[in-house]
Amino acid sequence: MKFLKFLFVGIFFGIVLVKSEAVSWYRIFEMFKFQSFHMYGIIGSAVFLGILFLWTFKKFKVKSLEGKAINLPAKNKSVTRYLLGGTIFGLGWALAGACPGPMYILLGTGVSSMLLVIAAAMLGTFVYGLLKDKLPH
């Protein structure tokens, strides 16, 4: 039962991403071609409102549902891993037209071939885990 709320968050997220067309390969292609404002509007308005939400949580010291202080972990400082890892991710994102969230959502829309992409993404994560200590971070 304690997981039920997370199930609903996931359902909501899945519906929003399909209805926004952010799960569409075509929209990602169009974004990287700078041929439409659509995706920039989605990401831009999400970040703008996201900043307001998190600022409000901090400003009014909002407690989480479990009564704990809300504390988002700061990301470790580095450039290499974010730039290199981010670029590798971007190459895959533009080719598959889907990042991890949409991969699951698209599976739900009935695209069975997405299972292959998810399996390959797990393999990529696994290989990263093997090579982690040898890569510059």
Partner 1 sequence: MEVLLQPWPWYVSGPLIALTMAILVFFGKTFGMSSNLRTLCSIGGAGKYADFFKFDWKSQQWNLTVVLGAIIGGFIAVQFLSDGSAIDLSAATISDLKVLGFENAGATLLPSEIYDWNNILSLKGFSILVIAGFLVGFGTRYAGGCTSGHAITGLSNLQLPSLIAVIGFFIGGLVMTHFIIPLIF
**61 lines the binding site for partner 1 (CB under 8 A):** no
Dist. CA 59–CA 14, nearest whole Å: 30
Q: What is the contact mask toward partner 1 in residues 10 to 49, using x (rule: CB under 8 A)? A: xxxxxxxxxxxxxxxxxxxxxxxx-xxxxx-xxxxxxxxx
Answer for which of 59, 60, 61, 92 binds partner 1 (CB under 8 A) is 92
CA distances from 95 to 19, 27, 32, 88, 89 (A): 21, 12, 11, 11, 10
Q: Give SS3 for 63.
A: strand
Q: Is 6 a binder of partner 1 (CB under 8 A)?
A: yes
Q: State which of residues 1, 59, 110, 134 lies at the interface with partner 1 (CB under 8 A).
A: 110
| Dihedral sign computed on CA atoms, order 72, 100, 44, 16 | negative
Q: Does 1 bind partner 1 (CB under 8 A)?
A: no
- Contacts with partner 1 by CB under 8 A: the residue count is 113
72 forms part of the interface with partner 1 (CB under 8 A): yes
